[in-house]
Amino acid sequence: MAPGQNAVEVPITGMDCPECTAHVQQAIAELPGVESVHVLLSSQKAIIRLDPGKVDLADIRRAVEAAGYAVGNPAAATSRLPPLAGSGRPILALFGVVFGAVLFIVVVGEWLGLLEALTERVPWPLGLAIVVVGGYPAFREVVRATWRRQVVSHTLMTVGALAALAVGQWATAAVVAFFMRVGDYAERFTAERARRAVQDLTRMAPQTARVERDGAEREVPVGQVQVGEVVVVRPGEKIPVDGEIVGGQATVDQAAITGESMPVEVGPGAQVFAATVARLGSLRVRTTHVGQDTTFGRVVKMVEEAEAHRANVQRIADRFSASYLPVVAGIAALTLVIRRDPLATAAVLVVACSCSFALATPIAMLASIGAGARRGLLIKGGKYLETLARADVLLVDKTGTLTLGRPEITDVIPLDGVSPDELLALAASAERYSEHPLAEAVRALARRHGLTAAEPEQFEAIPGRGIRARVSGSAVAVGNRRLIPAAASLAAADDLEGQGKTMLFVVRDGALVGVLAAADTLRPEVPAALARVRAQGVGHVELLTGDNELVASALAERLGVRHHANLLPEDKIAVVKGYQAVGHTVVMVGDGVNDAPALAQADVGIAMGVAGPDVAIEAAHVALLRDDWTLVPELFRIAHHTMGVVRLNIGFTAVYNLAGLSLAALGFLPPILAAAAQSLPDLGILANSSRLLRQSNVHGS
How many of the other CB atoms lie within 10 Å of CB of 544? Answer: 24
Q: Give the whole-angstrom CA distance, residue 319 versus residue 568.
A: 43
Q: Give the whole-angstrom CA distance, residue 369 versus residue 303.
A: 7
Long-range contacts of 577-583, Cβ-Cβ distance < 8 Å, separation of 24 or more: 577/601, 579/393, 579/395
Which letter, b or e, does each residue of 390-401 get, where b requires 16 or more Cβ atoms within 10 Å of its Cβ?
ebebbbbbbbbb
* Torsion angles phi and psi, residue 695, rounded to 5: -60, -40
Q: Give the whole-angstrom CA distance, residue 128 versus residue 253.
A: 60
- Of the candidates 597, 606, 608, 590, which has an alpha carbon nearest to the alpha carbon of residue 574? 597
* 452: three-class secondary structure by DSSP: coil
* Torsion angles phi and psi, residue 507, rounded to 5: -120, 130
Q: Give the whole-angstrom CA distance, residue 41 versus residue 191.
A: 8
Q: Give the whole-angstrom CA distance, residue 347 versus residue 284.
A: 70
For 494, which DSSP code? H
Q: Which residues are catalytic?
A: 397
From residue 327, give the alpha-carbon distance in Å to each of 357, 457, 538, 658, 675: 14, 89, 40, 12, 19
- Of the candidates 61, 170, 624, which has an alpha carbon nearest to the alpha carbon of residue 396? 624
Q: How many CA atoms lie within 13 A of 71 on its CB side?
A: 17
- Of the candidates 393, 392, 370, 418, which has an alpha carbon nearest to the alpha carbon of residue 638? 370
Burial label for 649, CB within 10 Å (0-12, 13-18, 19+), is buried
Beta-bridge mates of residue 243? 272, 287
SS (H, E, C) 365-391: HHHHHHHHHCCCEEECCHHHHHHHHHC
Q: Do the Cβ atoms of 379 and 368 come closer than 8 Å?
A: yes
Q: Give the whole-angstrom CA distance, residue 126 versus residue 384.
A: 52
Per DSSP bridges, beta strands 264-266 and 250-253 are antiparallel
Q: Give the whole-angstrom CA distance, residue 208 versus residue 273.
A: 15
DSSP string for residues in 628-644 = -TTHHHHHHHHHHHHHH
Strands (E), 539-667: 540-544, 562-564, 586-590, 604-607, 622-624
Q: Give the whole-angstrom CA distance, residue 119 versus residue 654.
A: 33
